[in-house]
Copies of this chain bind each other. A is one copy, B any other.
C-alpha cells in the first residue's frame, strides 16, 4: 500500500504538504502543489479512510436504514439518497430493519459501531419519541414518518393531506362508497394512522361519514397483504365503488386481488394508492396515486444529516414533502 510518506518522498516534501494538497487546503504554493499531484498520480496513492477516520472522527459514510430494500418504494428512496449523498461527497451504507423497532434500534447501534457520520432512518416501528432514539449521540434524520417530538430532524410525507386529496379525487369521480385498505398490525404507526385520518377528513369535508365496515386492515404492508384484503373486501358483499390504499405496494396487491374475484378496475371499482412507485405508471390499469416528491425528500434528508454533521447544535427541524396527485387509469 502506498502511503502519504511514499508520496512525500517522491515529491520531495513532507507528509503534511501532501495532506494539504489532498484535502485542497490553502497554504501550498502552485509549483509544489503540482509536483505533489503528479507524485500522487504516479504512485497511485489513495487516502486511507480508516486512518483519516481514526484521526478526524469522520468516516464519510451515512447510514440509511429502511425496512426492506427489496420493496420498490424503499429502493427508489435509497437510489435518491445514494445519489444525493454522493453529490455531497458521502457514501451510503444500507441497513435493513425488517420494519421492526428492534431492527431500527440495531441500525442505530450499528451506526455507532461502524462510525457512520450520520443516520437516515426510515422508521416504521420506532416512534421518534422513543427514548432510545433520543439517546443516540450523533446525527439522525427521520424519514417518511410523522413526528411530534421535535427532537430530531424530520422529513415527513404529506400523509394526511395526500390521502385526503386521493379520497376526494375518488368522491369527485362519483364514488359513493369508498373503502380504505389501511395498516393492520402496524396500527400504532403514525404514517398509517395519518393516512387513515386523511381518508376520514376528505369525507368530513363533504359532510360525509364513511361506513366503518368499509375499513379493511392488511396483515402486512405488502402486495400479499393487499391481495388478501381485496379478497375480504370482495367477499364481504358490500357495495363498494372505490378503494383508497395506504401504499402503492399494497395497492398492487389489491388490484391483483380484485382481479382474482373478477372485479375490474376502474369499471367496477376505482382505485388509488400512495407513493407513486415506478411500477404505478406501468400497471394495467395504471395506478392513480399520491406522488410525494421523493427526490426532494432524499435531498432534504441528506442535507439535514450533512448539515448536522457539520453543526450538531442546530435545532431540529421538520419538513413536509410537496406532493402531486397523479390521476391515471385506475380512477378514470
Contacts and interface: CB of A to CB of B under 8 A. Distances in A.
Interface of A: 46-51, 53-54, 59-61, 68-72, 74-76, 78-80, 82-83, 91-96, 110, 112-115, 223, 227, 252-253, 255-256, 259, 278-279, 281-286
Given A69-B75, A69-B78, A82-B95, 18 more contacts: A49-B114, A50-B50, A50-B51, A50-B53, A60-B114, A69-B79, A69-B94, A70-B75, A74-B75, A75-B75, A78-B94, A82-B94, A93-B93, A94-B94, A223-B281, A223-B282, A252-B279, A279-B279
How many of these chains are in the complex? 2
Contacts of A76: 70
B284 A255 contact: yes
A208 B212 CA distance: 60
Contacts of A70: 72, 75-76, 78-80, 278
A91 B112 CA distance: 13
B278 A113 contact: no
Contacts of A71: 75, 278
A82 B110 CA distance: 14
A54 B50 contact: yes
13 contacts: A50-B51, A54-B54, A61-B114, A69-B75, A70-B72, A74-B75, A75-B75, A91-B93, A91-B110, A252-B279, A256-B286, A259-B285, A284-B284
A282 B95 CA distance: 26
A65 B293 CA distance: 26
> 5 nearest interchain CB pairs?
A75-B75, A70-B79, A50-B53, A93-B93, A50-B54
